[in-house]
Structure 1
Amino acid sequence: MEEIPESFSGKILFVCSGNSHGRCTAAIEEQARVLKEYGAEVHFFRIGGKGLMSYLSATGKLRRYMTGHSFDVVHAHYGLSGMVARLSGAHPLVVSLMGSDVFGAWWLRLGVRIFTRFFWPLTIVKSEEMAEKVGVRKVKIIPNGVDMKLFREMGKAEARQELEMGLNASFVILWPANPAREVKNASLALAAMERVEHSPCELKMVFDRPTEMMPLYYNAADVVLLTSKWEGSPNVVKEALACNTPVVSTPAGDVKKWLKNLEGCAICSPEPGEIASGIDKALDHKGRINGRERIKELDNRNIIKKLFSVYAEVMNNPSQGIR
């Protein structure tokens, strides 16, 4: 079996959208942070604006930026960023598909499939479901990792006090998503809560919080709820499991892999009554789950080593990728 490198001292350029408060998404920023911890030098090229034309207009800017700088690997995140990187002549190139680029608009799905098959030397997807949807054998499945030092179990009362939630006796169902995003299916979460039998029970919607605060929310909650129509490999589920907090979820992305037969958790069809029943059963569990043990392979240290192996592979054979 090929030995996975323990470190990577090269220079990496991350190409990604900069529309999240002028930064890449939290998952991408976190991946960069961990890469730096293990010896890599990470730089960012953030693409501003939305829509296809904004991305196409970034092609020349990226080409000029790379002319003035030298990188060992260019790692583009999301399909459109990967297309920009390829059209800009990025070399050697790794592209990570994240979910919306695989399950979103038909033209983007088609573009991703074409670029994966013919133009990207190496493509990473986050789950088996994504790999099947892309329909191209030339992919690597590497889910996002979890910072097991940051996301850990702590006392519920302590977490609620820190968040100034008080020490009320209400059951708290955490829904960590932006309700404005249709794919997250906020209406389903609200409809399910109307059918939950445990009382008093409140739904707490949380989004755009600093990553460092999220362990407090997971630990303050009695259940973490995901009602998405589709996902790649939802970080919130894995982070909640790292905190040993029960999770109730629709079967989005790779959720089945992490929740299957895990006591205190439930995978439900996207139907309000079934989700409400799943929440009630999770609340009946009355305590922590064994989630941390279930996802131990997703420790950031393990995932970063796999990325180092991918970087080494594409650097040694940048034109052919994986067969």
Structure 2
Amino acid sequence: MKVLYVTNMYPVEDYIYFGIHVKEQIEAIATQGDIETEVYFINGRAKKWNYFNSIANIRNKIKNGNYDLIHIHYGLSALFLLFYQPKIPVVVTLHSGELYKKKGILNHLAQKSITMAALKNTNRIIVLNDDMVNLLYKHKQKLVKLPCGIDLNTFIERNTSQPEQELIVGFPGNKARNEKNFKLFKEIIDELRKTFNIRIVEFHNFTRNEVLHHLQTLDVLVMTSLVEGSPQIIKEAMACNRPIVSTNVGDLADLLHNVKNCHVINSFESAALLKPIREIFSLSAEHRKTNGREKLIQMKLGADQVAKSVIHVYNEVL
């Protein structure tokens, strides 16, 4: 099977973890049997005009590439479907940003309009959480809920000894992105610093080894986001058995259900998140751990398991 991947999310030199989960999923799929993969990257961050250039470029690739199937990552990458309908099956994975307001209202309306129009010309729509399923209910016959997976061989728990006088709190993302709600995170940290010596790790543009190292030494990961799909950093922290406190966004309620020392809070008030964080800090260092890895295995969210599930979707539409 030869698959063309079309995506506007892929690592670039100045943003090395941008779309890393897309890249890693494609690589995992390529290891699962007789699958040949090719990637067409729309670098919309470099130049918005690249989206319009992609319309003709993708059409030519499909015409000459002898592909069996197209898999699109992110709704805006499906712009070409408004102008050209391939004769081979099309699968699209939506990553939430194309459906929910994360930037300005005009940007949001344009992305959502293009995405919703393009979905009519797809065979399967992969989404990340139940909220997305509900939003796209009219496409229910095409929908598959399948979050991206995690490399369980890379992200592992490691026993580390941190100085007890210093507690390490992770912020999962780029604080400059409004939807990550750094303002709330800062309120929480300012309050904690009245009692504890806190060091912050901002998980932004790290290499995979750096992400792993910092996750393995965290005392807690605190997500204050307003909107998420199925955050990879949460699953990576789970694989390392690290405590997590988060607002109730994306699929966090599913991921962290019955995971010890992890809390999903139905509030954007700092006091509501401070309580479970203080509970975690009250534990001894050796007890600040979770059964998150076990939960990921139970949910079949290892990278290889998810790759097999994606290939099953391919086989359904071929």
1:227-248 deviation line (CA, Å, top 9, x unaligned): 1111111111111011000001
Aligned to 1:310: 313
Equivalent residue letter for 2:315: A
Q: Secondary structure at the match of 2:245?
A: strand
* 1:195–1:273 Cα contact (<8 Å) kept: no
Cα deviation for residue 52 of structure 1 reads 6.4
- Is 1:248–1:282's contact at 8 Å kept on the other side of the alignment? no
2:2 alignment partner in structure 1: 11
Following TM superposition, by how much is the alpha carbon of 1:301 offset from its aligned partner in structure 2, in angstroms?
A: 2.1
Q: Deviations over 1:293-312 (max 9, x none)?
A: 11112112221111111111
CA displacement 1:204-229 (0-9 Å, x = unmatched): 21211122332211111100111111
Paired residue secondary structure (1:298): coil
Which of 33, 37, 45 is the aligned partner of 1:42?
37
The aligned residue for residue 321 of structure 1 is: none
**Mapping for residues 154-165 of structure 1, pairs under 5 Å:** 154-157=158-161
Q: CA deviation at 1:134?
A: 2.4
Question: Which of 118, 124, 127 is the equivalent residue of 2:126?
Answer: 124
Equivalent residue pairs, number:
297
Question: How large is the RMSD of aligned CA atoms in angstroms?
Answer: 2.1
Aligned-residue offset at 1:283: 2.0
Instruction: Determine the C-alpha separation between the residues in 2 that align with 1:198 and 1:140.
Output: 46
SS in 2 for 1:12: strand
Q: Is the 8 A contact 1:267 1:278 kept in 2?
A: no
| Larger mean Cα displacement after TM superposition, 271-280 or 73-82 | 271-280
Aligned equivalents of 2:226 and 2:9: distance in 1?
A: 25
8 Å Cα contact 2:169-2:222 kept in structure 1: yes
Letter of the 2:245 partner, please give it: V
Alignment correspondent of 2:73: 77
Distance 1:238 1:95, change over 3 A: same
Contact 2:9–2:73, Cα closer than 8 Å, also in 1: no
CA distance 1:129–1:272, change in 2 (3 Å)? same
Tell me if structure 2 keeps the 8 A contact 1:225–1:247: yes
What stretches of structure 2 of length at least 5 have no aligned partner?
A: 102-107
Tell me which amino acid in the other structure corresponds to 1:237: I
Residue in 2 that maps onto 1:191? 187
SS of 2:191's equivalent?
A: coil
Structure 1 segments (4+ residues) deviating >4 Å: 50-53
1:33 aligns with 2:27: yes
> Of 268, 271, 284, which residue of structure 2 is paired with 1:270?
268
> Paired residue for 1:146, among 146, 150, 170?
150
Q: What code does the residue aligned with 1:33 have?
A: E
Distance 2:250 2:283 in 1: 25
Paired residues of 1:72 and 1:92 also in contact (CA < 8 A): yes
Task: Find the counterpart in structure 2 of residue 292 from structure 1.
Answer: 293
Taking structure 1 as the reference length, what is the TM-score of the superposition?
0.85
Alignment of 1:85-96 (within 5 A): 85=81, 87-90=83-86, 91-96=88-93
**CA offset digits 1:5-61 (Å, max 9, x no partner):** xxxxx1111101167426861010110111122132211101123486541331011
Paired letter, 2:264:
I
1:281 Cα deviation after fit: 1.7
1:163 alignment partner in structure 2: none
Counterpart CA distance in 1 for 2:128 and 2:51 is 23
Q: 2:91 aligns to what SS in structure 1?
A: strand
Matched, 1:172 2:174: no
C-alpha distance in structure 2 between counterparts of 1:232 and 1:18, whole Å: 14
**What is the SS of the residue equivalent to 2:65?**
coil
Q: Which amino acid letter does the alignment assign opposite residue 293 of structure 2? A: R
